[in-house]
Amino acid sequence: MSNTNNATNQIGLEKADMSEVIAQLNNLLSTYHVFYLNVRGYHWNVKGEHFFTLHPKFEELYTALQLQIDEIAERILTLGGTPLHAYSDFAQHTSISEDKNVKDGTSCVKGVVTGLQALIAEQRQVSSLAAESDDQGTADLVDEYVQEQEKLVWMYNAFLG
């Protein structure tokens, strides 16, 4: 069945309502990409007594982030948008900063916590806007991420003591 109503997208949501959701999802996608690169850097560069603990944990985290990045981009496409895909766009639309040349395990974990907290805050905003726009799919997607990431914040903070 093709979409014959020009006011709605392929899943029956109002295009006008979705433009802001798509914009916020692209911002979130940008934040995910910068955070992903930060975590890759922590994985590659961490040194010290906690190397054997943190190195695989960072790999586990960036692997999960890769999947979430793909799901967010696919959600943008489902809503009728175009996902950002250039680093220059990510740099302009992210809510976090690059964390370069971090080697100390504690500093790496602090960077992970800061990044996760930023993602959680941004996703709560996306969820709220999506719910207002009757976009349950987007709200459910980011709400699931928030639940997982809240637990990770607790766990990484436990590591920090």
Q: What is the pLDDT of residues 2-42, one digit of tens each?
A: 445 678 889 888 888 799 999 999 999 999 999 999 999 99
Neighbours of 137 (CB within 10 A): 13
Query: What secondary structure does DSSP assign to 86-127, as a single string?
Result: -HHHHHHH-SS----S--BHHHHHHHHHHHHHHHHHHHHHHH
Task: Give residue 160's pLDDT.
Answer: 97
Whether the Cβ atoms of residue 28 and residue 142 lie closer than 8 Å to each other: yes
Task: Give residue 136's pLDDT.
Answer: 96
Give the amino acid at 122.
E
Is a pLDDT exceeding 60 seen at residue 1?
A: no
Q: What's the chain's Rg over C-alpha atoms?
A: 17
Assessment of whether the complete model's pTM goes beyond 0.85: yes
141/20 Cα distance (integer angstroms): 17
Q: What is the pLDDT of residues 84-139, one digit of tens each?
A: 999 999 999 999 999 999 999 999 999 999 999 999 999 999 999 999 999 999 99
Task: Give residue 5's pLDDT.
Answer: 62
Domains and CATH numbers, the chain: 15-160 (1.20.1260.10)
66: confidence class by pLDDT, cuts 50, 70, 90: very high
Is a pLDDT exceeding 60 seen at residue 145?
A: yes
Q: Is 68 exposed, middle or buried (0-12, 13-18, 19+ CB in 10 A)?
A: buried
